[in-house]
Each structure stands twice: as structure tokens, then as C-alpha cells.
A and B are shown apart, each in its own frame.
Chain A
Amino acid sequence: MAATTRTVTDLSSTTKDGVGASPRRPDGTLKVTGEFAYSSDMWMEDMLWGATLRSPHPHARILGIDITEALKVPGVQAVLTHEDVPGTKRYGLEHQDQPVLAFDKVRYKGESVAIVAADHPETARRAMERIKVDYEVLAPVSDSRRAALDPDYPLVHDKGELPEHPEFNQSGNRLRYQPIRTGSFVDVAGSKEGQEKTLERLRAEADAVVATEYEVGMQDQAFLGPESGMAVPAEDGGVDLYVATQWLHVDQKQIAPALGLPQDKVRLTLAGVGGAFGAREDLSMQIHACMLALHTGKPVKFVYNREESFYGHVHRHPAKMRYEHGAKADGTLLYATLEIIVDGGAYASATPAVVGVASSLGIGPYEVPNVLVDAYGVYTTNPPCGAMRGFGAVQACFGYESQMDKLAEKLGMHPVDLRVKNAMAQGSRIITGQEIDMPLPMAEMLERCRDLPMPVERTELEDPTDQRTLPGGVAGTTRGEGVVRGVGYGVGLKNLCFSEGFDDYSTARVRLEVVNGEPVVLVHTAAAEVGQGLVTVKGQIARTELGVEKVVIAPSDTQVGSAGSSSASRQSYMTGGAVRTACASVRAEVFELARRKGLVPAGVEDTGLALDGGKLVSATDGVLVSLADLLGESAQGGEVVEHTREYHHRPTEMIDPDLGQGDSHNQFGMCVHRAVVDVDVELGLVKVVALDAVQDVGKILHPQQLAGQIQGGSAQGLGLALMEEIQVKDSEIRNPSFTDYLIPTILDTPPMRIDVLERPDPHAPYGLRGAGEPPTLSSTPAIVAAVRDATRRPLTHAPVRPEDIVGIDL
């Protein structure tokens, strides 16, 4: 008989701290008391310190590297360059285009050129100063629009430079170009003239047309724990790497070939991760630490400093967007066009996938009969960009939501009414033709958000002159002068789990046994706990599925199959699904065992059995046997029931390269935000007064952690709306520090009213929907809309700068 799978409505259990409860995180106390060991805290007696020499130029030829003097520094054990890479010299997530250590050319400022191992970090730094690199400086290739559209713009990667990828870089600096055409634009696809004529006709039919250019700046993930880890050489010639990452197996897959080792000789264990948000999807110090460890025969530890960290990981793609929308007088959308260029920087990282999301979700959750999208991801010599929470959907959401507001104003409609008028719902098709085959109560969510209670007016505050309630805060720039309140809305659509034909799966090993007279479950996966709380959720699922209170979570490592990445809001869905599936197999075997022992009355099917409170129970006959009695003490030869299972979500496909059609996504998530702001319109400073959200999560697994995800995602979106931008000028970062790269403080983060809907997705475990990303999409446009409402300025750049609010050109 097949293992039973519980339905969404059948989670009642007497076992506490299961799905739907808010148990404490197993690592929570350690983190709060400062005792949790993050990857940068690791220490071994005989370890060496690694350091990285980085390029001071964004674009230059390397004419020579002389390490002679560096090797003479006492305490230095190794100085390695590209010549010392034992295996393949390049790696990458999607394209293997990034050198382990630069050779021939450097393509961004901060690129790794040489690595040093020494007995002290200061010794390593002194050695690095003595490495002589002879550069021929080249002009930066910094303009993403030219990179996308100008065939004469200098190439970042020369054609034919990567012989193993003959298809690679045949279109200049374009990494991916993705068009999407629907409605009247299908028949004229590929014809500039035809498209223009169609557009002219649609414009003539429209009662209101809005066309605007928008920009989204380069946001940083701003995790607090810098890139760090330790590589320990092993006796078998392999290496054990302890590292803070998002996906152990994809690291392993990239590290092993570079070291010239088989995969099983490169073993990874997750070290304490201090935040991720996408920035740990790409490798940083992994291969370097392993190379130095294998070379010196000693453990090697790397910890990037904060400035180095800004060069050591990818950022959110900055985007340039041109939108045009046309609508009838009643608000019905007639057509939409979008040109979006995302700047991938020097190396591909996740850029092609980001283009896939930015294009397919480029018009947002709106019914539009005629759509033309041209999406480009390009190479430049700017800092490399890749994954960050929201992944291409964030940039587009700022654009299409700004357009909705502009259109509503032009039509004299309330911004919520215009959105409701064109809202998608279950059964709608997004612009790729994919049907949304799960609940999408968008119109209801918008109405609910509008109906949430408003914060009190400034005049009703206990002390309206309290600086903490005013824009500018404790710096005392206003006592109320120039302060105007504004309200804005935002809604975003995000794909959840991996898209575009990727076989997305996770693996879980679950073991049930009796220890000291008590049933205990061990859950082992390779999934990265990056702060999101998966470590709690895995235990909750095991408790609910196996009715056992005591669950031990094994450290995540490569001794079990891949869990996929802790990204794309996918781990509750995928690793949660894997744990649940493995638990079902364990449960089925327990039932079978009980039957063999004659403990299950005749005629009772598996569907009438359950594990609850450490016992096998029957719906008709009550408690049949305790697990302790059924299995017996494992140390004394009792039964140990263990299963390892993979969980795959349903297949997806690439969208086609000409019209952009196809079922590329697995699941859709949505959040709606309403922002209320007070703006000092004379100084251009903003205080967000309220940031309220309505989100449909299908099923709440852990209410407290869910609230944390929504609050955190909203705050990260607030940062992008008002302050977070890596400023890049001539391909150089101007603010590589937390002194000048500002993220919101508690004084910038308002109270948040959160209204959660649970409309189950029939395709997903428990009906759940990934919850981490959607709030990051919608909070940014909601806040900017509120600032526009207060200032009546166009505000086409995120983040909004004080200059934009007071009308000073930049």
C-alpha cells in the first residue's frame, strides 16, 4: 500500500510543536546570547590565514605577476596565482566564465588575482603588498544600455574566449536576450516596422497612455556575517570545507573540478551562516581556501573584511527600464511594452535566470491583451551581479507599479481601483501563456489592504514634536515644518522555487529509533539554514508526520543528497516536502512492522492509522502500541527505521526564445503593501509611518517565523525605496562600507500590520507557498508611491534620494 499523505485539513495532532505552532528555533538561544559559532568564528590550532589580492582596476590586461618578494616574508606559507589552479581555471553557476584567479585580464575592480596563506592575517596582508602585478589599464565598459544595444561597444569577454562554450558570447556583451510577444504583437514579432505600426494603432485606441523610464540602483544583500570558512586537508588527498553558503552541493560541483578532484574528495559542511539573501549563491573564498589547504597541508581560514565583502559577492542587478502602458477610459489595460536591461557586471552568475524572471513577470499580475517585452542581461566591467531576494522581479515590480500609479492618476482613478480592475486571478494566464493554476486572490488582497486601519495623524500623536516620529529623526531637522503625509500601494508577483526547466529537488534522510526508552527522530538534509528558520520547520514537519516530539536536526553536509539552494523562497516547499516524504516512508514502514507483529486489527487500512504522541493509534481502536514497545531500544538491537527520499516539484520548461511562451514557473506568490509616509518636502527626508501587508502564504507553518519573513522582506524593500544603493561610477564602487551603504535602522522601520491569507496551493506540500520574497517586491513601489503622493514629484529612481524629492538634478 502506498504511504499515506495527510491532507491539509488533517493536521490535528496531540504532539506539540508541529506544523502551525511557533516553537523556538533550536539555535535561537545561542544566537541571542552571542554563543552561536558563525563561520568566521572557526579556529584550529595549526591553521593558516588566507588573504586575497584584488584588482585595483575595473578593466585591465595582466602583463605579469611577480610573487618573489611576497614569498620572502617570514610566516608566509604559500602565494598562489592562476598558474597554481590544479584543475579547470574557471567556474560559475550557469556559465563557467569566472576565473578562479584572474589571468590575461581583470574585468572588475576587486577581482581575485592572487592568494596568500600565512601564520597571521597581518603577515598575509604584508605579503600581498609585495606581489607585483603589471597591469595595462583599459577603459571600463560601464554603460549597460550600450552593452545591450551597441554592437561597436568594446567586449568584456572576447569572442571564442571560452572554447568549451562555443555558443557563448556570440551576441557581443549580451548574456541573454529574451523577447515576449502576446496579442497583436505576435504577428509582427521580429519586425521593427510591424511592431511600431501595431504600437501606433494601440496608442490610437487607448484613452490614456503613460510612458516612463525607470531605474533601480544596485542593492546589496548586506548580510552581517562576511564571507568566511575553513578548508582542512584530509588524509585521503581530499579536503573538508566548512563554509557559510546557500547550497552545499552546487559549491561542491564547482570546487571539485577546479581542484582536479572527484566530487567525493571534496566534502562540505555548513558553518554558521550570518545571512545570505542570494549573496552566497556564488563562490567566494571556497576554492581559494581549498587550494591553499591542499598546497600547504594545513587548515586555512578566510574571513573577508567588510570592504572586501562588498567586492567579494554579487549584488542585485541594477536595471534600466522603459515602460509604456495604454488603457481605456474605464481603466481596462489595452497594451504594455517594456524594455528592461539588467547589468550583470563582469561575470554571468545568475544573470540569465534573472532575465528569465524579469521578462516573464515584467508586466506584473495584470491582465493585458497585447504585450511586447524585450529583456536584456549584459556583461559590463561593473561589479558582478547575481541573486538577491526577489531576483529580477523586484526591479520590474518597481517599474510596473509606478506605471499603475501614473495611469490611475491620469484616469482619475484610485490606485487600488485600477489594480483591482486589471487584477489577475486563479485561471489567468501570465504573459508567457502560463496559467495560474492555484489561488490568487489579488483583488481581495488589494481591498483588504486598503481597508486596514490607518495610522493616527501626526496631530493626534501624544507628542507631535518628538523627533523620533519625524523625518530626519534625532538629527533634529524639523519640528513639523515642511512635513507632508502620503499614502501608496504596491503589489508584486513572484515565481517561487526554481524555474525554466531546472529539475528542482531536495533530499531528506529521516531516521526513527528509540533511545533511552523514548522515540527520537533524526532529520538530515544538506539544506542551508541561513537565518530563515528552516531548521525549526524541519523539526515541526517531522513532529507532525511522525507524532514524535523529540526531533534532532543533523548538521547540513554533503553526506546526504542535494537540498538545492536556500533561495527562491523554496526551502519550506522543497526540503519541507522532502522531509515530509521521507517521514511518510518511515511511517509506512512502522505501520508494516506493526502489522507483521500482529498489532493492527484486521480490516484496519493504513489510512485509518496514525502516529501520534509517540504511539501508533487507530481511528477505530485507539492506541495500538507505543513506538517504544514497537521498535525497542535501538542500542539493544531495536528497529531503526530510516528512509532517504527526494522531493521534486512538477516540471517546468524554458520559455521559447522568440515569443517567450512556456510554463516556466512552478508556483506564484503575492504580497500587497500599503505605505504611509511623512516627507519633509523641503529637505527631502522621509519617515515611513506604517508599512502594512497582506500576503497569501497558502498555509502557515510557523506564525512567528512567517511574521519575521514578512517584516524582514518589507524592511529590505524599504531600504531599496529610500537608501540602499551601491553607487558605481566608471565601474568603481564609491561606498563599499556600512558607513556609506545605508540600511534601515529600527528608527527607519515602522510598525507593520500583517494580514495573512491561507488559500492552499493544491500542488504544494501542506498547500504552502514560499513566503520570503514577495514582501520584498511590493514594499519598494508602495513606499515610493507614498513619497510621490506627498511630494507630487515623478521619482523614477529607486532608491529615492533627497535630491529627487527637492528637485535637484543629479
Chain B
Amino acid sequence: MEFLRPSTLVEALEARSAHPDGVPIMGGTDVMVALNFDKSRPPALIDLTRVPELTEWGTDSDHTRLGAGVPYTKVIEHLSGAAPALAKASRSVASPQIRNRGTVGGNLGGASPAGESHPPLLATDAEIEVASVRGTRRVKARDFYLSLRKTALAEDELITAILLPRATGPQQFAKIGTRNAMVIAVTSFSLALDTDNRKVGTGVGSAGPTPLRAETAEEFLEAEFDWEDGRPLAESVVRRFGDLVAAAARPIDDQRGSADYRKHALSVMARRALSWSVTDYRKESSRCA
């Protein structure tokens, strides 16, 4: 196995181009597990830990640009205001040691349907910046996940950054695990209200071959939500929203939980996330007033 250690982004993209079968490695929290268990034997590892461009982050008026190699710990420390749902999701990842190493870019590269980052990226309509020797492009998170662990990333491309739109309303994330920390999601849910555009975003994890959106639920809530005053919603509306989120899921029975439970839990999380959002929305509007 070749071990490549590029020290600039240009070198990294050249290495990626030269080794389309190689596996990029950053925190190693997924890749090393697969190697240690003999589940994967890539011909080359491309170590990205020395590429400075990947570990930067910054915020402008429209976006937060998060380098693909920024560990979860930094997301929690620095982005809980700019990207609340992603920060909440990051807090629920594994253990402190893993959060010090694991990255959103790695989560996207592995594209496990259980990855904590995906539902917030879907709900907030984030974009993924990918680069190759051919150039740089942006892919919407909503177009990124193609099928089980397959993404829109071409074989010569690296994930370089995540572009998170400025939060203009409440954002939620919740994840079910059968213990209270350090657990892979049985299922997870994220909700984001885009007040400026009066749009609702959702993201659902561990309930299908890819991270999913509940588009019918989004449209339903966009129509029902009181964007002016954030008045409390009728119980029937909240319940309907939960049902629509559950209906969008395509879960299976596996060792982590049954399909029926996943749907049930999604409906509960969706209802709760909505009621928290209404509360937060009213708080925010009263502050603005």
C-alpha cells in the first residue's frame, strides 16, 4: 500500500488524480476502522492532514465556509451560532477523542446513511465544494447522495469545503441511540426554517440507503407555518408534519432497530423539533420587534 502525504491542496489534487483507487484519509475515524478490520485494502492512502487549506473556516455575509478537514470539536466550539443544526449534530458524534479527529468532510466521503452531518446539511441546503486538477465545483448536499455510500464525487475529486448558508431561523437536530452517548444513529432528524425565503428544510438519517429529505413534509409546513408571527400550530398540523416525515423514510430492520420503530421515532422527533422551532421562532421575532 502506498502512503502519500501531500502538503498543499495542489499536491493533494495531483495525488488524487494519479491514484483514483486511493482512499483519502483525514481523521481516520472511519478509514482506519475499515483497515483494521480488514474490510478494505486500498492500493494507496492519501493523507490529507498536512493540507492547510482543508482545516480553515470563515464566515461572510451569506455563508460559512467550513474546510472539509475541520474536526467536529472545532465545529462545536466555533459554529454553534453560524450553523446551529450542524453544531448540534457534531456534539452527538461519538466520544471527545473521535470528535477531535473526525471531520464533516470525512463524513461526506464515507457517506454512511448514519453519518451525523448529513441531515443538517440537507435541512440547511448546504453546498459541498469539490475540487480536482480539472477545477472546482459546488454540489448541493441535496444532490450529493446518490445511492448507498455512493456520492456525486468523481473519482479524481476531493471534498474541499462545505458551504453553510447563513442561519435565518431556528435549526434543530436530534438523534436516536440506545445509549446516551457514543452511539451510531438508529435514526436522526434535522429541521431548519429559512425565515428570509420562507422555506422549510428537513434531513433524515439512518432511515434509507442514503440520507433523505422529507419534501412533502417541507412543503406542507411551508404552507401551514405562520411566517409572520410564528403562532403556535394546531396539534393536528404538528402531527401531520410528523407523519409526513415518517412517510418519507425508507428504513430497514437491522441490528440497531426495527423499521417500524425508526418511522415512529422520526415522527416523534419531527413533532418535537417543530414545536421547539416554533418556540425559538417566537423568541427570535420578539427580540427583533
Please report A residues at the B interface, Cβ cutoff 8 Å: 125, 305-307, 468, 471-479, 481-482, 682-685, 687, 722-723, 727, 734-735, 739-740, 742, 744-748, 801-803, 806, 808-810
Contacts and interface: CB of A to CB of B under 8 A. Distances in A.
B178 A723 contact: yes
A477 B269 contact: yes
Contacts of A474: 91-92, 180-181
Interface string B57-92: 000000000000000000000000000000010011
Interface string B206-229: 000000000000000000000000
16 contacts: A305-B36, A473-B181, A476-B175, A477-B174, A481-B272, A722-B179, A734-B254, A734-B255, A745-B180, A745-B182, A746-B181, A747-B180, A802-B178, A803-B260, A808-B260, A808-B264
B180 to A, nearest CB: 3
Contacts of A806: 261, 264
A802 B255 contact: no
B2 to A, nearest CB: 15
A745 B175 contact: no
Given A472-B180, A473-B181, A476-B174, 14 more contacts: A468-B180, A475-B92, A475-B175, A475-B176, A476-B91, A479-B276, A482-B268, A723-B179, A740-B184, A748-B180, A748-B181, A802-B186, A802-B257, A802-B265
A307 B36 CA distance: 11
B238 to A, nearest CB: 12
Given A683-B268, A803-B261, A740 B180 contact: no
A803 B173 contact: no
- The 9 lowest CB-CB distance pairs between A and B, nearest first, are A473-B180, A475-B175, A734-B255, A747-B181, A747-B180, A475-B92, A735-B255, A477-B174, A745-B181
A191 B276 CA distance: 64
B180 A808 contact: no
Contacts of A685: 176, 178, 180
B258 interface: yes
Contacts of B256: 740
B6 interface: no
Contacts of B36: 305
Max count, chain A CB within 10 A of own CB: residue among B174, B178, B268, B275: B178
A237 B91 CA distance: 58
B28 interface: no
B32 interface: no
Interface residues of B, dominant DSSP = mixed
Given A684-B261, A740-B256, A803-B261, A472 B176 contact: yes
Nearest to A801: B178
A482 B260 CA distance: 19
Nearest to A306: B37
A748 B178 CA distance: 10
Contacts of B269: 477, 683
B261 A802 contact: yes
A744 B178 contact: no
A307 B258 contact: no
Interface in B223-255: 254-255
Contact of A810 (B178, B258, B276): B258
Interface residues of B, number: 36
Nearest to B279: A479
Given A305-B36, A475-B92, A683-B265, A742 B180 contact: no
A227 to B, nearest CB: 16
A623 to B, nearest CB: 56
B261 A476 contact: no
A748 B188 CA distance: 20
Nearest to A121: B38
A479 to B, nearest CB: 7
A706 B92 CA distance: 34
Contacts of B184: 739-740
Given A683-B268, A803-B258, A806-B264, A742 B37 contact: no
B10 interface: no
Contacts of A747: 179-181
Contacts of A727: 255
Contacts of A740: 184, 255-256
Contacts of B176: 472, 475, 477, 683, 685, 802
B148 interface: no
A305 B37 contact: yes
Contacts of A723: 178-179
Contacts of B255: 727, 734-735, 740
B271 to A, nearest CB: 9
Nearest to A125: B38
A742 B181 CA distance: 10
Max count, chain A CB within 10 A of own CB: residue among B37, B183, B255, B269: B255
A745 B183 CA distance: 10
A593 to B, nearest CB: 58
Contacts of A481: 272, 275
Contacts of B261: 684, 802-803, 806, 808
B87 to A, nearest CB: 11
A745 B179 contact: yes
B185 to A, nearest CB: 8
Interface string B168-208: 00001111111111111110100000000000000000000
Nearest to B116: A475
B257 A476 contact: no
A477 B186 CA distance: 12
A802 B38 CA distance: 32
Nearest to A307: B37
Contacts of B38: 125
A746 B181 CA distance: 8
A471 B180 contact: yes
A477 B272 contact: yes
Nearest to B39: A307
A727 B255 CA distance: 7
Nearest to B276: A479
Max count, chain B CB within 10 A of own CB: residue among A476, A683, A744: A476
Contacts of B173: 476
A311 to B, nearest CB: 13
A682 B176 CA distance: 12
Nearest to A810: B258
A125 B185 CA distance: 32
A798 to B, nearest CB: 14
Contacts of A808: 258, 260-261, 264
A702 B133 CA distance: 66
Contacts of A745: 179-182
A237 to B, nearest CB: 36
Contacts of B182: 745
Nearest to B260: A808
A476 B181 contact: no
A479 B172 CA distance: 12
Nearest to A478: B272
A745 B272 CA distance: 26
Contacts of A478: 272
A27 B183 CA distance: 32
Nearest to A740: B255
Nearest to B182: A745
Max count, chain B CB within 10 A of own CB: residue among A474, A479, A723, A748: A474
Contacts of B180: 468, 471-475, 685, 687, 745, 747-748
